[in-house]
Amino acid sequence: MIFGLSNTRTLVDLLKRGLVPKNEKVKCIIVLSIALVLSVFDGANENGFCINLCASMLAVSVAVLLCYHINKRYDNKRFAERIVCMSVAVGIRLGIPFLLVIILYAFWSGDYSFKSPYGVGLRIMLEILFLTILVVKFGKDFKHGTRS
């Protein structure tokens, strides 16, 4: 259900009305958890790992706090399920464009493992872009979407 939705407003509406089944929410938690683990442990022994980890922790913390305050101003309910489901939906929508950027970078630079400073920088920029889009979509859809 969630994996087939390309419109986050539809997802917001379903979440508000409590129509997203628990098994779909669990799938989102699993997908998000796997993505987070892979992003943290990729290149754990490389030079850019500490920079990438610190930037990721800062970016994720700011994004989650912004989404939390948006949710608090809206109706202050079910924040965890909303942010997890919205993260997966936005991630699916951005997957192909991000993949194209990564492939183009790899072919252009020859850095297929993203271990150079430029590769680490690209990963950080893509993560910040994802989190920015997540916060904007979260705020836009919950502030201006249909209220239940």
Domain parsing of the chain, residue ranges = 2-144
Say if CB 1 and CB 15 are below 8 A apart: no
CA–chain centroid gap for 7, Å, is 15
pLDDT of 49-101, one tens digit each? 677 777 777 888 888 888 888 888 888 888 888 888 888 888 888 888 888 99
CA angle 9, 138, 15 (to 5 degrees): 50
Instruction: Give pLDDT, residue 89.
Output: 82
Residue 17: name the closest of 81, 64, 91 by CA. 81
Q: Is the pLDDT of residue 129 over 80?
A: yes
Q: Mean pLDDT, the chain, as a whole number?
A: 77
| CA atoms of 111 and 109, how far apart (whole Å) | 5
Structure tokens given for 106 = 């790899």
Q: How far apart are CA 103 and CA 122, in angstroms?
A: 12
Coil, strand, or helix at residue 146?
coil
Residue 123 is encoded by which pair of tokens? 């990963």
pTM assigned to the model: 0.66
Q: Cite the DSSP H helix spans in 5-78.
A: 8-16, 22-41, 49-74
**Cβ atoms of 87 and 134 closer than 8 Å:** yes
All residues at 6 or more sequence positions from 96 whose CB lies less than 8 Å from its CB, including other chains? none
Residue 113's contacts (CB-CB under 8 Å, 6 or more residues apart) are: 43, 119
In this predicted structure, what is the pLDDT of residue 72?
A: 84
